[in-house]
């Protein structure tokens, strides 16, 4: 199997991930932060280690402001629903994933004013449009760092500046970028950062995190046992406990820690360059095939290793089906949980074929994919 669905979930994982999870499960697996005995302390140390690695990755001033979640969706819901109230105004874009648009849609029903800035056909937002949209009651600017459809990276430095200037929290959805693009929450003026562990961070499913800037707070989505302040019937207001009710996914967090250690050792810039070369090869190859249209990936715009394309007159799902069944290659066709993004780039409702690469893909795999697409297109058109 040649696996090109890394934007949905990356596979394979670095060898250390399985090992770390196995160790956690077999050697201790007690409840981190709940009891004082050796095994609970070992589990707690593993969780702390991953928290610190994540903090370092995004340059968070402290690890306490990294809150573990089930996935990026939970982080985004906490950031959005924990920040805005009836009559507040929120700014977002048409390139967002349903994990941003659906909680905002719910918020809108509760009386929150949601303003969705239309991006251009390449999926890029104009920061000036965000600046102009700011109102007295704007309480949040929520933007996806990179589109999961086109891969285009938004001009977040400019958006961060605008948000800081207006003193509005800036929520960055890093589901596609954590582990794929350098992130510095301090330099980039990011107030809330939603992370998933199982995509470019190469960790296991069931791991995610929300960074909350110092001095900022959001209301919890969930209340419950935190291991700390057991005597209080109210949620203790101390990070990260305040937003981390219930037992954490310790074993998953152990795996994520090992994945982060792999990224540290190999080096993020080396990983980025490696994948850039594959994307370059892929796009060049696809451009040589008749009737193929690639979305985004315009000159001068940085991207993550996600390439969406369509073939005139051919159904994307059928191509994906042939790729899977005949060529043993996994891609993802359709709308990728981002209907407005497809409307923006002009591919709604038919969607696109999305190829998303990982650091474990190779030039040979990309070459094989291009040959396969050539054959399929030839047969279908």
Neighbour count for residue 234 (Cβ, 10 Å): 7
Judged on CB neighbours under 10 Å (0-12, 13-18, 19+), 225 is middle
User: Does 166 interact with its own copies (rule: CB under 8 A)?
Assistant: no
User: Catalytic residue among 108, 337, 368, 370, which?
Assistant: 337
Residues 342-381 that bind its own copies (CB under 8 A): 348-349
Residues 186-215 that bind its own copies (CB under 8 A): 196, 198, 204-208
* Angle, CA of 145, 17 and 365, to the nearest 5°: 65
Tell me how far apart the 2 most distant CA atoms of the chain are, in Å: 70
User: Does 320 interact with its own copies (rule: CB under 8 A)?
Assistant: yes
Residues 10-29 that bind its own copies (CB under 8 A): 11-13, 17-18, 21-22, 25-26, 28-29
Minimum distance from residue 139 beta carbon to its own copies (Å): 18
Minimum distance from residue 268 beta carbon to its own copies (Å): 22
| DSSP-assigned letter for residue 301 | -
Residue number, 25 or 216, with CB nearest to its own copies: 25
Q: Would you call 337 a catalytic residue per the annotation?
A: yes
Member of 52, 59, 70, 365 binding its own copies (CB under 8 A): 70
Dihedral sign of CA atoms 175, 281, 316, 340 in order? positive
Instruction: Using the CB atoms, write b or e for 326-344: b if 16+ within 10 Å.
Output: ebebbbbbbbbbbbbbbeb
Binding mask 251-290 for its own copies (x = CB under 8 A): xx--x-----------------------------------
User: Does 98 interact with its own copies (rule: CB under 8 A)?
Assistant: yes
User: Does 56 interact with its own copies (rule: CB under 8 A)?
Assistant: no
The H helix count followed by the E strand count for the chain is 11, 13
User: Does 94 interact with its own copies (rule: CB under 8 A)?
Assistant: no
How far is the C-alpha of 46 from the C-alpha of 152, rounded, in Å? 34
Residues 233-252 that bind its own copies (CB under 8 A): 233-235, 245-252
Minimum distance from residue 199 beta carbon to its own copies (Å): 9
* Angle, CA of 55, 58 and 61, to the nearest 5°: 55
Here the tokens at position 327 are 């060529």
Listed in sequence order, the residues at least 6 apart from 119 whose beta carbon sits closer than 8 Å to its beta carbon are: 93, 94, 95, 125, 126, 344
Beta-carbon-side half-sphere exposure of residue 92 (alpha carbons within 13 Å): 27
Member of 141, 181, 195, 221 binding its own copies (CB under 8 A): 221
Residue number, 3 or 309, with CB nearest to its own copies: 3
Residue number, 285 or 334, with CB nearest to its own copies: 334
| DSSP-assigned letter for residue 36 | -
Residue number, 206 or 285, with CB nearest to its own copies: 206
Member of 339, 365, 368, 370 binding its own copies (CB under 8 A): 339
Minimum distance from residue 98 beta carbon to its own copies (Å): 5
| DSSP-assigned letter for residue 223 | -
Minimum distance from residue 85 beta carbon to its own copies (Å): 12
Name the residue among 285, 304, 283, 305 with its Cα closest to residue 294. 283
User: Does 74 interact with its own copies (rule: CB under 8 A)?
Assistant: yes
Catalytic positions, please? 337
């Amino acid at each position: 199997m040649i696996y090109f669905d890394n934007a949905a979930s990356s596979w394979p994982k670095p060898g250390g991930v399985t090992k770390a999870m196995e160790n956690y499960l077999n050697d201790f697996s007690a409840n981190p932060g709940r009891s004082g005995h050796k095994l609970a302390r070992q589990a707690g140390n593993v969780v702390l280690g991953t928290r610190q690695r994540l903090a370092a990755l995004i340059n968070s001033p402290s690890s306490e402001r990294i809150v573990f979640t089930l996935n990026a969706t939970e982080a985004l819901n906490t950031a959005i629903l924990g920040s805005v109230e009836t009559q507040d105004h929120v700014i977002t874009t048409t390139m967002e994933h349903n994990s941003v648009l659906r909680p905002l849609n719910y918020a809108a029903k509760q009386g929150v004013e949601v303003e969705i800035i239309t991006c251009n056909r390449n999926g890029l937002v104009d920061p000036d449009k965000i600046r102009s949209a700011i109102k007295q009651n704007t309480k949040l600017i929520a933007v996806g760092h990179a589109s999961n459809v086109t891969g285009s990276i938004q001009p977040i430095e400019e958006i961060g500046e605008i948000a800081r200037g207006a003193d509005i929290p800036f929520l960055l959805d890093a589901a596609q970028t954590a582990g794929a693009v350098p992130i510095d929450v301090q330099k980039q003026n990011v107030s809330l950062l939603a992370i998933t562990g199982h995509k470019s961070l190469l960790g296991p499913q069931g791991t995610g995190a929300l960074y909350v800037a110092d001095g900022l707070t959001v209301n919890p989505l969930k209340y419950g046992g935190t291991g700390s302040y057991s005597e209080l019937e109210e949620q203790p207001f101390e990070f990260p406990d305040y937003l981390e009710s219930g037992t954490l996914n310790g074993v998953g967090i152990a795996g994520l820690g090992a994945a982060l250690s792999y990224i540290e050792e190999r080096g993020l810039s080396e990983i980025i360059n490696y994948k850039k070369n594959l994307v370059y090869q892929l796009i060049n190859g696809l451009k040589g095939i008749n009737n193929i249209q690639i979305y985004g990936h315009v000159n001068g715009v940085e991207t993550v290793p996600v390439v969406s394309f369509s073939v005139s007159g051919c159904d994307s799902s059928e191509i994906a089906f042939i790729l899977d069944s005949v060529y043993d290659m996994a891609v993802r066709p359709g709308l990728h949980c981002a209907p407005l993004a497809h409307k923006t780039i002009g591919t709604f409702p038919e969607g696109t074929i999305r190829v998303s690469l990982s650091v474990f893909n190779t030039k040979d795999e990309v070459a094989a994919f291009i040959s396969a697409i050539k054959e399929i297109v030839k047969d279908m058109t």
